[in-house]
Amino acid sequence: MSRIITYRAALREGLDEELARDPNVVLIGEEVAQYNGAYKVTEGLWKKWGSRRIFDTPISEAGFIGMGIGASMLGVRPVMELMFWSFHSVAFDQLVNNAACVRYMSGGLCHCPIVVRGPANGGTGVGATHSHIPEALFAAFPGLKVCAPATPADAKGLIKAAIRDNDPVYVMENTLLYGMSGEVPDPAAGDHLVPLGLAEVKRAGSDISLIAHGRSVIHCLAAAETLYAEHGIHCEVLDLRSIRPLDQDAILNTVRKTHRAVLVDESKPFGGVSAMVGMLIQEHAFDALDAPIQRVCSLDAPAIYSPHIEHEQLPSPRRIVAKVLAIT
């Protein structure tokens, strides 16, 4: 049993359920309380749960992320909202040098069950300093877990799984998905969790694999529709969902099935998620390939301010279709 709700509402529902389930869960960030969140993800939660569970912070990412890490080491489960993931650099030492390393450096005596969430995307015309896509950057550090939900159901299931995890989990959302609607299981049907590290085939196919995460999954599904309708090409769309841990088996299984792959990734091509996925395929499924691996990434330049030109900089169904036709 499921309902149609927005990505934003699914995140809110997941947060609300975890606040009810565990009294140690708190929401912390800029404007998350009385203002209902910069993107209205936390709308109504402060009124329901009060200032002991949901509270605003000064505009100081280094300060409140550091506070959340310290609180998590003492048994609190903070969910920290960054208004933009681009502001990660202000708190980089805390996010990487502290949160990622504390369990290892303490010999397993201290855990850091913190969630940091917020939008990590381009495409909204807010310029280069507000449009970073840092999932590959954080996935490069052992000790951190990173996920990027593409659908409302995954947004809810992943945020709930992230809150329950004993390691730091960084959830990369997308402002352009917040208003997108989709099926989400009804709470009456039971707890909806999406395990970290488990990819999902969003569309089965036999001719080529489109491997993506986040909003790029939506572009892949649109491209797959066009390719089937206009060219009779059956695309399989694999949604990674988690970047770290990465579902290596799912990646290799789809490539061994279709023998071709296009990797779609909104981050820049140099050292991006798709570069890692491509290397995994080369190492473990090279003999299964009938054509070179292709990638569709953002063009390798700072985010362009002009909305029309920025649209051309990002992955799109048109660019994905062109890559598929080049190798089929």
For position 1, what pLDDT does the model report? 81
Give the containing element (helix H, strand E) for 219.
Answer: helix 215-231
* Greater model confidence, 311 or 42: 42
Share of the chain above pLDDT 90, in %: 97
pLDDT tens digits, 152-162: 999 999 999 99
The model's confidence at residue 107, banded by pLDDT at 50, 70 and 90, is very high
Q: What is the pLDDT of residue 44?
A: 97
Q: Could you identify the residue written with the tokens 């395929």?
A: 281
CATH of domain 200-327: 3.40.50.920
What pLDDT digit, counting tens, does each position of 272-296 carry? 999 999 999 999 999 999 999 999 9
Q: Which residues are catalytic?
A: 61, 130
Q: Tell me: the pLDDT tens digits for 12-49?
A: 999 999 999 999 999 999 999 999 999 999 999 999 99
Q: What DSSP string describes 10-35?
A: HHHHHHHHHHHH-TTEEEEETT-STT
Confirm if 264 and 315 have CB atoms less than 8 A apart: yes
The token duo for 204 is 């089965």
Q: Is 223 helix (H, G, I), strand (E, B) or coil?
A: helix
Longest dimension (CA), the chain: 58
Per-domain residue ranges for the chain?
A: 2-189, 200-327
Whether the pLDDT of residue 307 is over 90: the answer is no
Phi, psi of 247, deg, nearest 5: -80, 85
C-alpha distances in Å from residue 226, one per residue of 37, 54, 132, 234, 274: 37, 44, 29, 10, 23
State the burial class of residue 184 (Cβ atoms within 10 Å of its Cβ: 0-12, 13-18, 19+).
buried
Note the pTM of the prediction, 2 decimals. Answer: 0.97
Q: Do domains 2-189 and 200-327 have the same CATH topology?
A: yes
CATH number of 2-189: 3.40.50.970
Specify burial of residue 180 (Cβ count, 10 A radius: 0-12, 13-18, 19+): middle
* Residues 258, 263, 269: CA angle, nearest 5 degrees: 155
Torsion of CA 316, 317, 322, 326, to 10 degrees: 110
Q: Who contacts 214 (Cβ-Cβ below 8 Å, separation ≥6)?
A: 120, 121, 135, 148, 149, 150, 172, 174, 177, 266
> Tell me, what's the pLDDT at 7?
98
